[in-house]
Amino acid sequence: MQNELEQLKTTFLEALEGAASVDALEGLKNEYLGRKGKLTAMLKSIATLSVEERPAAGRVGNEVKTAMEQAFADASANVLGEKEAGDLFDITLPGTAPQMGHLHLVTQAIEEISSLFAHLGFILARHPEIDWDWYAFESLNIPKIHPARDEWETFFIADQASSEEDSKVAEGPKGKIVLTPHTSNGQVREMEKGDLPIRMININKCYRRQSDITHSPMFHQFEGLLIDQDISISHLKGTLTFFAKRYFGEGREIRLRPYHFRFTEPSFEIDISCAVCEGSAKVNGKKCRTCKEGWLELGGAGMVHPNVLKAGGIDPDTYSGFAFGWGIERTLMMRAGINIDDIRLLYKNDLRFLEQF
């Protein structure tokens, strides 16, 4: 038996030297080392030997098996060009799928919001992120010296011709050049096209010198503008109710709270019922920590001011309209189940956070 094992090893090693392909190696593996191979059959026959012969035959059998497996691994490494010996590559095994990305959470929100307003006939428009003071403020009924400008924390574009010591703000035929602090700069620009009626959604980046858990120096807004004849507050509330129930859920409610914006009259802050306490202001008998009173501020809205219509070349005696402007990030944060307590998380590019969505 011992001589037969040694002879089997010699035959196998000689056969390995002539194996120059994966198929040849696989054939030798099945013939000699497989479950029904020659070595396996010979090792099983050791049990038929006498008690005195078994120990020596078993020892030689293990040595031969180890030598043959190592020789096969070395031959495989040479044929496959691998640095370390191992099993043959099985081309029938499924491959490792590449890691796939997905749209950013903010981009997902932008696409969904655009789609919802498209059902109401609102057309997606795009207006500049860098604009004249006229479109960002003056055409919106906010004169140069009006204190309402303080609220917007505006970035101004420097004149490239000025030195660092004597820096000046770039100006042009329509005033100073600014990074738009809101998407409302698109209102008069859309009116100037002269195409009435108007149903516009302008989604764009905005910039303000603010940074905390609810503010970012760069953020996104969506601006809705509808101008037609006989438009009333009922149309405004109906539009916003449609959006709130489709985006936040059928159980959510909105309310219009009187406010003051220079470019709308009357003006409102739009509140939405809290998703945590379902508008009750109570959680387990205690005051809701999220909203305190059952409502969360969502954004601003109102009927377009006559002075804004005039700035866009529209007769306020014939046409009326409404506008609303909300932050994409803030709207997203108020969605049930999102649980984002710091707006800056959206821009840290932390995959542990982003991959959840």
CA dist., res. 139 & res. 304, Å (int): 12
184-191 mean pLDDT: 96
Residue 301 has pLDDT above 70, yes or no: yes
Distances (CA, A) of 263 to 138, 184, 193, 233, 283: 10, 9, 19, 15, 38
The domain limits of the chain are 2-80, 105-124+193-354
Neighbours of 102 (CB within 10 A): 10
156 bridge partner residues:
178
CA dist., res. 35 & res. 10, Å (int): 20
Contact 177, 131 (CB under 8 A): yes
Distances (CA, A) of 332 to 28, 89, 281: 62, 48, 21
pLDDT in tens, 4-54: 888 888 888 888 888 878 888 888 888 888 888 888 888 888 888 888 888
CA dist., res. 78 & res. 70, Å (int): 12
Label residue 82 by pLDDT band (50, 70, 90): very low
pLDDT at 162: 66
CA dist., res. 217 & res. 209, Å (int): 5
Q: What is the CATH number of domain 105-124+193-354?
A: 3.30.930.10
DSSP reduced 3-state for 169? strand
Q: What type of residue is 139? A: S
pTM over 0.75: no
Residue identified by tokens 């428009």 is 125
Q: What type of residue is 320? A: S
What secondary structure letter does DSSP report for 215?
Answer: B
CA dist., res. 7 & res. 309, Å (int): 101
Q: What is the CA radius of gyration of the chain?
A: 37
Q: What type of residue is 215? A: H
Omega prior to 173 cis, within 30 of 0: no
pLDDT in tens, 253-288: 899 999 999 999 999 999 988 877 877 888 888 888
Helix axes 2-17, 54-80, angle to 10 degrees: 0
Mean pLDDT of the chain, nearest integer:
87
Contact 9, 28 (CB under 8 A): no
DSSP reduced 3-state for 330? helix
Got the DSSP string for 75-130?
HHHHHHT-SS--PPP-TTSPP-PPPP----HHHHHHHHHHHHHHTTTPEEE---SE
Tell me what percent of the residues of the chain surpass a pLDDT of 70.
Answer: 94
User: Dihedrals φ, ψ of 332, to 5°?
Assistant: -65, -40
Strand locations in the chain (E): 123-125, 130-132, 155-156, 171-172, 175-179, 198-207, 218-228, 254-261, 264-273, 282-283, 286-287, 295-304, 320-327
Residue 83 has pLDDT above 50, yes or no: no
Regarding predicted confidence, which is higher, 198 or 169?
A: 198
